[in-house]
Structure formats: C-alpha cells, structure tokens
Amino acid sequence: MLRAPSFAAVILALLAGCSKTEDGPRAVAKGKLVDGNKPYTYEAPKGKGGGAVAPPSVGNAGTGLQIQFVPSEGGDTSYASFNAEAGTFEVKGSDGKGIKPGKYKIYMTMLGSPPGAPEIFGGKFTREKSQIERDVTVDGPEIVIDVSKPKG
C-alpha cells in the first residue's frame, strides 16, 4: 500500500516539473548599428600589404563583424547575425528561440582582418573596454547602437 502513494507522488512531481518553462520567456533581440544617427558604414582598413579587408558579411562566418551579447550578471554569450547592407542585427540565441530578457553587455570586433590591419573600432568595443549595455525585453523596442555614442 505504501508503494502506490509514493509512486503517485513521484509521477505528480515529474508532471509538475514538465509543465514549467525551463528558461522562462525569450526575446529575439533586433536592432541597428548607426554612427551619429546615420546608418553605420564600413570602410575597409588596409593590411600591411595594402590590401583591403573584405566588407562585413551576414552572420559570423569568415570575415565579418561579430556582435556579442553577454548577460550583465554572467552567463552564456549569444552572437548576433549582422546584415552589413542594412546595418541591422538579430540575436536569436543558441537554439534560435531568443535570449532571456535582461541587461546585456555588448562587444563588437571584426573577424578575419589581415595581419597588421587596425581594429575597425580602435579596440573600444572589446570585452576589456566596451561600455555598451542594453536592456532586452520580450516586446521591447529595437536596440540601437550608435558607435559614436556607445553608452546611449
């Protein structure tokens, strides 16, 4: 007789656990990159041999602008896919369902620059120096990052 209530209690506990949302609400963070309220344009820096760097690509494969969102309170880094032609980005998280709402530190670097080429933002948006923080909300406004006023 004692086994039936114990078994039922275990089943109820498992069902209760299954009905909870594991991570809570998610948001696909969308935004744009601007320079002084104008769409951000990219001028390819020259490498030691004088060759220009290819323009940023969509996403993070190969050469391109990498935008990282890191929760201010710690956690996993999420990468934005960047559309260089439109100057827009989206952060969908590792599973494509979005990222948790909250405050994020944002870092930006260029991938695939030739040796000796200067970093396009002068290193001011690296993990060590970036002062960009933005709130991500479920139905929040578009995130605007102005490279001329990063704290904005």
Compute the average pLDDT of residues 46-68.
56
Q: Give me the percent of the chain exceeding a pLDDT of 70.
A: 68
Residue 152 falls inside a structural domain? no
Residue 110 falls inside a structural domain? yes
How many residues does this entry show for the chain?
Answer: 152
What is the tally of structural domains in the chain? 1
Least confident of 11-15, 63-67, 147-151: 11-15
Residue 32: give its domain's CATH number.
Answer: 2.60.40
Residue 48 falls inside a structural domain? yes
Q: Residue 32's domain spans which residues?
A: 24-146
Residue 124 falls inside a structural domain? yes
Task: Note whether 36 and 42 are within 8 A (CB).
Answer: no
Mean pLDDT of the chain: 76
Residue 73 falls inside a structural domain? yes
Other residues' Cβ atoms within 10 Å of the Cβ of residue 38: 10
Q: How confident is the model at residue 54 (pLDDT cuts 50, 70, 90)?
A: very low
Q: Residue 45 pLDDT more than 60? A: no
Cβ burial, residue 96 (10 Å; 0-12/13-18/19+): exposed
pLDDT of residue 79: 95
User: Which range has the top average pLDDT, 19-23, 33-37, 104-108, 136-140?
Assistant: 104-108
Q: Residue 43 pLDDT more than 80? A: no
> Is the model's pTM score more than 0.85?
no
